[in-house]
Amino acid sequence: MSAVIDVKALVKRYGARTVVDHVDLTIAQGRICGFLGPNGSGKTTTLRMICGLLTPDGGSGTVLGEDLIKGRDSIKRQTGYMTQRFGFYEDLTITENLEFVAQLYQLPHVTRLVAEAIERLGLGDRRNQLAGALSGGWKQRMALAACVLHQPKLLLLDEPTAGVDPKARRTFWDEIHGLAAQGITVLVSTHYMDEAERCHEIAYIAFGKLMARGSAADIIAASGLHALVATGEGADRLAPRLSGLPGITAAAAFGATLHLCSPDEVALKRAVDTVKDKAIRWSQVEPTLEDVFIHLMGQAQDNMAVA
């Protein structure tokens, strides 16, 4: 499959701060790539450089076969970009908002295209409802309809499901997989681990630097982390004591259990040995994506910490 996104050493600076630091990213046609990282890590800035809204201070590459710098206008026309914030007119209906977007793109047969998008995204019963009266899930669905009106080849979605209930999130992801099956490439930023696992591949960025790339299974396998789960009365209450021990990257309560993680098996054993309660039972488990990302974040240098 050809690479729809193929960028190398992307750099973006604001004054003395480098917010995107030599990021490489390649995504093939029809693939869904989850873009993960803490707040302020450079995800949104990277998305905006890829779609031509920001000019990189360094780096090169192609998007949709167009040069990242010289082909910005062409890239914009072939890309659907869904921002973090709802950016539509709240005093217009769904239909009116979508018709306005279609006219901005100078699309033919506006009425038919909007009607088809409304039906495809399940918005038919709400077509005449004011956008400002929609719940978060329906706003999200309307925004996605607006993104695909002009039949883009690439979708960039910036935390599209933040604040949306689980059922609406699942429906949204079903739509995303349907679009990918049609050959549309999707780069989506998210903080939800379950959403990351629904992606074909993942890119993890922390404080401007790309730190991991591959499938969820590949990233977990390459992390070198080891994990244990503690069960028994009071296991969850051990987290504050164990989290500060040398070599322990995570000690987190999950219900009545405790999840303990470290890249050092010896450090794990030392931590376990500090627990004298014989009612606590320890089992080895596979690290989770969350474990890996917390570990990677701990290794990254905060590019906003020093002025």
Q: What is the CATH number of the domain that holds 201?
A: 3.40.50.300
Is 293 inside any structural domain?
no
Residues 195 and 281 in one domain: no
Residues 126 and 233 in one domain: no
Residues 265 and 234 in one domain: yes
Residues 119 and 189 in one domain: no
Q: Is residue 307 over pLDDT 50?
A: no
Percent residues over pLDDT 70 in the chain: 97
pLDDT score, position 94: 97
Residues 14 and 163 in one domain: yes
Residues 65 and 86 in one domain: no
Please give the residue range of the domain that contains residue 43. 1-77+154-219
pLDDT score, position 20: 96
pLDDT score, position 23: 97
Mean pLDDT of 280-289: 94
Residues 165 and 64 in one domain: yes
Residues 212 and 72 in one domain: yes
CA distance 289 to 26: 21
Ranges of beta strands (E only) in the chain are 3-14, 17-28, 32-36, 58-63, 66-67, 79-82, 154-158, 185-189, 201-206, 209-214, 226-231, 250-254, 257-262, 281-285
pLDDT score, position 191: 85
Query: Is the Cβ–Cβ distance between 19 and 13 less than 8 Å?
Result: yes
Measure Cα distances from 199 to 28, 57, 176, 218 in Å. Answer: 13, 29, 10, 13
pLDDT-derived band at 300 (thresholds 50, 70, 90) equals low
Mean pLDDT of all residues in the chain?
Answer: 92
- For residue 278, what is the domain's CATH number? 3.30.70.330
pLDDT score, position 251: 92
pLDDT-derived band at 75 (thresholds 50, 70, 90) equals very high
Report the greatest alpha carbon distance in the chain: 73
pLDDT-derived band at 294 (thresholds 50, 70, 90) equals confident
Is 70 inside any structural domain?
yes
289 Cβ contact list (under 8 Å, min separation 6): 193, 196, 197, 202, 216, 219, 220
Domain count of the fold of the chain? 3
Residues 13 and 145 in one domain: no
Of 62, 47, 45, 56, the closest CA to residue 5 belongs to: 62
Percent residues over pLDDT 90 in the chain: 80
Q: What is the pLDDT of residues 122-161, one digit of tens each?
A: 899 999 999 999 998 899 999 999 999 999 999 999 999 8
pTM of the shown model:
0.90
